[in-house]
Structure 1
Amino acid sequence: MARLKVPALRAGGNRPASKSRGRGFLVGLGAIGVVAAVTLLTVGYNSPKGIPGRSYYNLQAAFTNADNLTQSYQVRIGGRLVGQVLNPRVDKGEGVVDLQLNPDVEPLLSDTTLKVRPRSPVGVRFVELVPGTKGRPLGEDDRIPSSQTSATVQLDQALDTLDADRRAKAQVLLNELGKGFLGRGEDINEAQSNAPRFLGDLQDVASEVTAQPNVRSFVGGAESAAAAADPVREDIARGFDPEARAMRPFVQERDAIRSTLTTAPGDLRSVQSGLARVSPMLSQLERFGRSATPAFRQASTTLAGTSKLFREADPGLEAARKTLGLASEAVPPTLQLLRTLQPVLPDLDATLASANPVLTELSPRECDMNRFFGNWNETLAYGDGFSNVLRFNVIASLESIQGYNGKPLGRTTKQSPYPAPCEIDRQTFAGGR
């Protein structure tokens, strides 16, 4: 039986088996491993101060109260991590730190502010950075002065001001606040990012308000009023007891009051419609008040004079009392006379009524009457050469016998025998003479 020859297997398939590595190769490989380990160790050791090959925006900040700020504390803007604190030190009596910031916040302006805030109740802090809105851009390694930095009061310091009972209540409050804030981290971060701008605007408004002298006077007056009220505060508290008793019937009759308030809107609408009709009268009263204001200003002087007149008239009024007493005795005869005249008053009314047409005709002819009596006055005032006082001319003409025929009668007579009132004067002044 023939044998089947099987080729001998070689290491690596069709490749010959590798030769063993030399000692030099192993030493080099070990050196590379050692260098890599040292490099990783160095990078890991220095990584809190910065990652090699990455750029940063570096600033400095000075603090009057750094509040135990230490190496690698975080720097945040509105809750977002943007850098860390490095190299805390003391320079000229102030705490100075380096701020290693992400390049995306560059450049910050010179009015940027910093505040050291607690990150946890156990004392961990972070630096809250509020970017400025005006000023010059801050360059590399520029320093933010201590006038623009501050630190918050720590929670333990605030709690030290409370006694045991209030600390227990504060603990309950904080626990309940924790329940309320649970799951609202994003909302809180957004509120924190908007809060600095809001508080800055609020500070500007408060500064403008407090700069007013009237506000300072009001605050000072309020302080004085509070100081004056402090000794009698218990009496003031007891003084509200009558008001409380006065309000008690309203509480007892709250159902009736509720019913009244339910129907009140309809009644108020009716009153409102009525007020709309009253508005024109109020407008007129307002105009009357404005017009009468000058008279009211003068009224005080007038009233003072009137008061003086009454004081001076007192003796005369005393004498007038006697006169009025005598006049009262004349009242019955006067009434008797009026009763006697009453029957003839209708005839007197008829007489006056019959005179009305004559008066109506003569009333618009005042100028004609004045001319008529003026002419008679001139006629009677002077005589002629024969000592005749009454002067008049007799004009003999056809019209004086047959009447007026509508034609002009001459230079001194007018065309109409029945002229309108004052027509003679108008024609005279118009050149009709």
Structure 2
Amino acid sequence: MRRRSSLAGSPVLVGAATILIILVAVILSYNANSGLPFIQTYDISANVADAKKLTTGVDVRIGGKRVGQVNGIAPEKGRDGRYYSRLTLKLDQTVAELPRDTTLRIRPKSVIGAKYIELSPGTSRETIPAGGTIRESATSASVDLDQVTGLFDANLRRSVRTVVAEASDGFAGRGADLNAALAVLPDVLDRTATVLQNVSDPRTNLAGLIRGADAATQALLPTLGDLGPLLRGVRVTFGALADESPALAQVLQRSPATLAEARAASAALTPVLRDAAALARELRPGTDQLPETVAALHRVAVRGIPVLKRAPVLGRQLEATLRATDRNLQRDSTTTTLTLLKPISDVLLPTLKVVAPAQIRCNYVSLFARNASSVTSTGDRNGNWFRLILLLSTNQTLGKQSQPDPNLHYNVYPDADKGTCEIGNERYLPGRRLGPVGGGPTTNLKTTAPAGTPEGPR
């Protein structure tokens, strides 16, 4: 019977297995920074303004626990032309998926410059999917120690020594005053915070103030030679103020109470000023129309001055007229007449509602007066007579028809109530018909006033 050989009995196989194990170990150790193979990870990226000398392979931590590493760092160019760094993070599946409002901070790991990434998961219900990105506005970085120490160059150190020496001389023997200053310092800082908030408000336009001060300084540079007399005059002014120091001291003593009153008054005036600002905004469209309105008022004034010059005569005539009207109103007959006007107007009003629009639109009274002359233009030696045409229905006149003729009340102008002016403007076809001939609605001809006729009121 043949004996089976074992692996330990073959030196070649043992050597090959050992070499294979060593190669696998080397490959795994070389690729350790990119993660172990066959292990799923949660890969995301983050955009940071400055990578702060990060290197690949540094830890990514959440609450101090390592949950992954930085797998890549690459510079990117944004749409605005500014460069930023894009970090590729390879995280454990145990932290997937992070909330959308997760923040990232680059923090120092030691004083010698080592760093790590700290993630602070947010509370958003939306999450960052695999391959997602933490936006740049949600990333930050701590200040490195070398940046702080780098500020203290030779010039700064020399300046600090000078300040410390001068401050030591200034504080010598003033411990009580320093303690009093420290006691009021919190209140001063609170008020300073309010002042700084006002200064930092965009509406304060501090940048505009600085630019204006720079422009004023540039404007003063050519006049430096003239500033000597000005400063001497200022010295005289300050000397005069020094002579009035007791009065100035009283003013300064009363200033806090005055400022307190002004502060209380400003609190009461704030709603008024707010309403005044709202009123000014509402009046702004009206003020835009002021130039045109003023020009129109000027034209009215120019035309009205001659009229006003004749106003005294009109006033005297109007006074006489009003007195006569007053006497007439005191008569019984006037009261009776006014009483009767009410029923007359009630009867006349429906008629006027029909007649007035027709007259205003078609001017029928003038058309009647114009045509009346042709109606009475024919006559003989005995005088003129009216020309008319009798349209008779023979069957109706002779009693041959028991029912009214359908044309007995025929309306020759059916469109007169529809906005046209047919009556008086009709065209006559000889031997054919009267009334509108067709060809569209008829309108009154426009007439112009004779030359030299003054323009009437509008």
When normalised by structure 1's length, the TM-score is 0.35
Larger relative contact order (CA 8 Å, sep ≥ 6)? 1
For the pair shown, the structure with the greater C-alpha radius of gyration is: 1
Give the structure-2-normalised TM-score: 0.34
Query: Comparing both structures, which one devotes a greater share of its residues to helix?
Result: 1
